[in-house]
Amino acid sequence: MSKDVEPIRSVKGMRDLLPPETWLWQRVEEEARQVFHAYNFDEIRTPILEPTALFTRSVGADTDIVTKEMYTFCDRGEESLTLRPEATASVVRAYTEHALYNRGGIHKFYYLGPMFRRDRPQKGRYRQFYQIGAEVLGSDHPSIDAEGIELVALLLDRVGIRQYTLFINSVGCPNCRAEYVRVLRQALRGVAAQMCADCQRRAETNPLRVLDCKVPGDQPLIERLPHIIDYLDAECRHHFDRVTQQLRERGVAYTINPRLVRGLDYYTRTTFEVTSGVLGAQNSLLGGGRYDGLSEMIGGPAAPGFGFAIGQDRLVLAVEAAGQLKVECPLEVYVAWMGDGALAPAGELARQLRRSGQRVEIAYQPLKLKRSLAIANKLGARFVVIIGEGELASGRYQVKDMTTGEQEAVERAEIERYLQAKREEAAPSET
């Protein structure tokens, strides 16, 4: 390192994900893709940069995300752009932009990728964080909500997370919410003066947001506020009852949480959240809900939708803590060669094994056998194939099983089959 040049570090609140941690990330993503596939979802990839208005209109101008946390900049003096703080608005924008509603039916998308919020950095929370999410567009049927929540439960099970609580609530529709907001504003008039500055402001501007407040001193006051669920109109009540009934039928356990309104303005009817104690304090792993008016908020046609987003950073921590999902990416073969004449045949063997999908390492320069074995051991190789003058002359390479220490001379042409047979006898219970 240079003495004169200050080393550059990553941006505060952002981090590098390194192996072997990335193995676990990949495994979690693989499980997610399989579960989405099984439920007939397809992947969508939207840009990380979006026009700022997409989020101010959808997430809500008075939310923490929009007022404090977005990375917004002016693109060369032309247009205000924002690094996406979430992806639902982007997916709905894409749905509208490409007129997917004209194709009719229900559209089921999933996405994986980084989101950006200038939040206070803390364990499991980063300013570049990752979400695994899904959106279902084109139907307001309660079965959509129940199926999405069932999918989440399956995914958590697949990654080994069994200890969690699924909270559910309904935030109604604009029709019934107007009445609730009126009642809530009235209730807040009596207590807002004793609450935090944000709540005092929101008591008038956006009373629902008061329910999201995390300030400890406000909690007893918030607990006594009226519950939105008691103010649902007949349609919203029916929707909520159908969703919860279907969850029971599907064997998905849930707890009704009347305070669960989620920190975004676009939710209608169903909201849900999963918290887990595996990370110490109860921590939110994922959340979502229905957003039947979102498409219109950003200038699209009426398009009911339902979705959720899993915080992958915290999910991976929870997966690690649960310890059920085992991830190993061992080196299968190390090819050790001695003498310049062995390089070409060693390279040919490595190529053959790599083409068949095995993880293979080969020395880049000739090494003494003892040194090669030490490297293979350090890399955790399962087998070492040894190619020296004697092996080249006989056409039989030495294959050393590093787990048993046994060594055998194997015909060159038989090596791939031999390794395959060895692996199968080591893992007979795979199927």
Q: Binding to Zn ion by residue 196, rule CB under 5 A?
A: yes
Q: Binding to Zn ion by residue 233, rule CB under 5 A?
A: yes
- The Cα-based distances of 303 to 57, 91, 140 in angstroms read 16, 12, 9
Least Å from the CB of residue 175 to Zn ion: 5
Closest to Zn ion by CB, 175 vs 420, is 175
Least Å from the CB of residue 270 to Zn ion: 12
Q: Binding to Zn ion by residue 213, rule CB under 5 A?
A: yes
Question: What is the Cα Rg of the chain in Å?
Answer: 28
Closest to Zn ion by CB, 199 vs 381, is 199
Helices (H), 263-407: 294-297, 312-322, 343-355, 369-379, 389-394
Q: Binding to Zn ion by residue 419, rule CB under 5 A?
A: no
Q: Binding to Zn ion by residue 193, rule CB under 5 A?
A: no
Q: Facing residues of 336 across strands?
A: 386
Residue choice 172, 288, 307, 388 for contact with Zn ion (CB under 5 A): 172
CB contact at 8 A, 130 and 113: yes
Place of tokens 């220490």: 405
Least Å from the CB of residue 239 to Zn ion: 8
Stretch near Zn ion under the rule CB under 5 A, chosen from 44-52, 208-216, 311-319, 374-382: 208-216
Q: Which long-range contacts (CB under 8 A, 24 or more apart) does 147-151 make?
A: 147/39, 148/288, 148/306, 148/307, 148/308, 149/243, 149/247, 149/252, 149/254, 149/272, 149/308, 150/247, 150/250, 150/252, 151/35, 151/36, 151/39
Which helix (DSSP H) or strand (DSSP E) does residue 256 occupy? strand 255-256
Q: Binding to Zn ion by residue 222, rule CB under 5 A?
A: no
Q: Facing residues of 383 across strands?
A: 333, 401
Closest to Zn ion by CB, 87 vs 195, is 195
Q: Given the DSSP bridges, would you call strands 107-116 and 72-75 parallel, antiparallel or unpaired? A: unpaired
Closest to Zn ion by CB, 234 vs 427, is 234
CB contact at 8 A, 88 and 135: yes
Residue choice 26, 34, 67, 175 for contact with Zn ion (CB under 5 A): 175
Residue choice 199, 208, 228, 376 for contact with Zn ion (CB under 5 A): 199
Stretch near Zn ion under the rule CB under 5 A, chosen from 2-10, 80-88, 218-226, 327-335: 218-226
Residues 337-356 that bind Zn ion (CB under 5 A): none
Closest to Zn ion by CB, 193 vs 409, is 193
Residue choice 31, 135, 150, 218 for contact with Zn ion (CB under 5 A): 218
Least Å from the CB of residue 198 to Zn ion: 5
Closest to Zn ion by CB, 212 vs 391, is 212
Closest to Zn ion by CB, 19 vs 217, is 217
Closest to Zn ion by CB, 215 vs 409, is 215
Angle between helices 415-426 and 343-355 (to 10 degrees): 50
Closest to Zn ion by CB, 221 vs 331, is 221
Place of tokens 């094994």: 353
Q: Binding to Zn ion by residue 292, rule CB under 5 A?
A: no
Residues 366-395 that bind Zn ion (CB under 5 A): none
Stretch near Zn ion under the rule CB under 5 A, chosen from 90-98, 174-182, 250-258, 365-373: 174-182
Residue choice 173, 298, 319, 410 for contact with Zn ion (CB under 5 A): 173
Q: Binding to Zn ion by residue 236, rule CB under 5 A?
A: yes
Stretch near Zn ion under the rule CB under 5 A, chosen from 90-98, 114-122, 139-147, 229-237: 229-237
- How many angstroms separate the CA atoms of 183 and 225, rounded? 9
CB contact at 8 A, 322 and 345: no
Would you call the peptide bond into 20 cis, given omega within 30 degrees of 0 as the criterion?
yes
Closest to Zn ion by CB, 27 vs 269, is 269
- How many angstroms separate the CA atoms of 407 and 223, rounded? 70
Least Å from the CB of residue 262 to Zn ion: 16
Q: Binding to Zn ion by residue 215, rule CB under 5 A?
A: yes
Q: Facing residues of 396 across strands?
A: 411
Q: For 60, left (φ over 0), alpha (ψ -120 to 50), or beta? A: left
Residue choice 89, 176, 298, 346 for contact with Zn ion (CB under 5 A): 176
CB contact at 8 A, 228 and 179: no
- How many angstroms separate the CA atoms of 400 and 348, rounded? 19
Binding residues (CB under 5 A) for Zn ion: these are 172-173, 175-176, 195-196, 199, 213, 215, 218, 233, 236
